[in-house]
Chains A and B, each alone.
Chain A
């Protein structure tokens, strides 16, 4: 890049940066460093003395069956949410790309859920499926299915995944539509002239060319499922029944904030930090040149 033309002021840039840097230092870096420090401390049960234990908290957390359960729950939740919401969104985007009339109307009607808070998305699905008053729970039971997400862990998970995936459809849909529009029409026409039918064209041209978009969305959806769905879990199941829907973020919250096990909670925070760093690195390292055509 050519050297930028700049203003000669010496003090002004620091003043301009001051508000942002002040907030990041006070509310981001300081607490994050505290989390790192606390993750190596252990407090006795009465809070009278603390001692420095290096990585013992991590060892303890990583051996804890509850933590491993929560890791497992989070992975299942993330994979299911990403696959379902991306799958549905891809089908809808391909269909929207195919129609000529009414595209704008369809888009308008499909982007609503983006505006719904995750916690409220969870509540909406809970309204429909809770055993006392949900119409769908009523229908399921009328057909003889024993539906009770408040008691059955797998059903609770299904409910959470539905709500989380539902909320994310809009987002994925918009990105798939943008990705589809970036594919040069000439490629598709060339394939059509060579005699490839629509299905074949989709799998041999469209889908591979969408790969960057798909990969990008995969990362974004994983981040979403790991971190942004705390509200859904907290509002719908509270991690239960049992610990069937206790995700990693929910566990950090409940261990640290509700049960006050500080060292463990801090160690879990640090593990989560490593996960975010890895995901962000992947996102920026491999996804930056997402749209390399069109």
Chain B
């Protein structure tokens, strides 16, 4: 700070607080709604403070025994989403670190071809090849399977580029020293490269976990069976404004449960998250 201007600083604080109110309010509103009875929710405006139904609603949504959407409980939805998010994050990291390793530390014919093949997938998101990809999934019998939900998402140009970028900063002397000491490629990868990549892996993991958790178009395409829904898709099926029977208090609980895990990951692993975000977007 150059000028010592308490008033300007006060204004800055006020603007930030206002910003936080706007940014956090939709989430808070949903949380508040999830702690009221159905009747309270249906009679707007909603009170600004949480109601007394917190335990009742959450208990009923989690263990109520009544499947909300075609006989599927929230636990199953959370399990599906967790599997998808973890598999996508771990899969992407494994696959890309191996590719980047091959591209940076080996010389072989078609090395650059391989690199470009991976790079160009950046320009082919699901959105531009919806139907043919769906057909591939049907032909391979991958509809309504965890493999179908996760495997096609595991290719990652971004992660490969990030690891490549990082590997290029590793001095050649390190590789030479390892080779002189008799370390083969596997040994070098396991004992030197992996430990050095730890922070990058952690940072990427946070970003990719969120990516997997928030998928929408893909699970929508490749699941028909309600048992295989992710929680985001299930929520979409639950909300129907024309339907008077929608149990809004339970929808709100489901909504809170759907956004809580990724929010926790982002907030608790904030340092990795910010690093991953800034570095993976180069």
Contacts and interface: CB of A to CB of B under 8 A. Distances in A.
Interface of A: 1-2, 4-7, 9-10, 12-14, 16-17, 19-21, 23-32, 34-35, 38, 88, 91-92, 95-96, 98-100, 102, 106-121, 123-128, 130, 132-135, 137-139, 150, 166, 169-171, 174-175, 178, 188-189, 192, 198, 216, 220, 227, 230-231, 234-235, 249, 252-253, 256-257, 262, 265-266, 269-270, 272-273, 276-277, 280, 288, 290
Q: Is the interface on chain B under 10, 10 to 19, 20 to 34, or 35 or more residues? A: 35 or more
Given A7-B185, A188-B2, A92 B19 contact: yes
Contacts of A24: 117-118, 121, 155
Interface stretch (B6-14, B51-59, B65-73, B196-204): B6-14
Contacts, number: 305
A88 B232 contact: no
B221 interface: yes
B125 interface: yes
A278 to B, nearest CB: 9
A269 B236 CA distance: 25
Interface in B3-52: 3, 8-9, 11-13, 15-16, 19-20, 22-24, 26-27, 29-30, 33, 41-42, 44-46
B23 A115 contact: no
Contact of A132 (B94, B236, B241): B241
Interface string B81-101: 000000000000011101101
A133 B128 contact: no
14 contacts: A17-B98, A21-B114, A88-B22, A99-B16, A112-B24, A127-B30, A132-B241, A138-B44, A198-B3, A230-B217, A231-B232, A234-B236, A273-B128, A288-B282
Contacts of B155: 20, 23-24, 27-28
Interface of B: 1-3, 8-9, 11-13, 15-16, 19-20, 22-24, 26-27, 29-30, 33, 41-42, 44-46, 94-96, 98-99, 101-108, 111, 114, 117-118, 121-125, 127-136, 140, 151-152, 154-156, 160, 168, 172-173, 175-176, 179, 184-185, 188, 210, 213-217, 220-221, 232, 235-236, 239, 241, 248, 252, 255, 258-259, 262-263, 265-267, 270, 273-274, 277-278, 281-282
Given A127-B252, A132-B241, A288-B282, A235 B131 contact: no
A174 B185 CA distance: 38
B266 A112 contact: yes
A73 B255 CA distance: 28
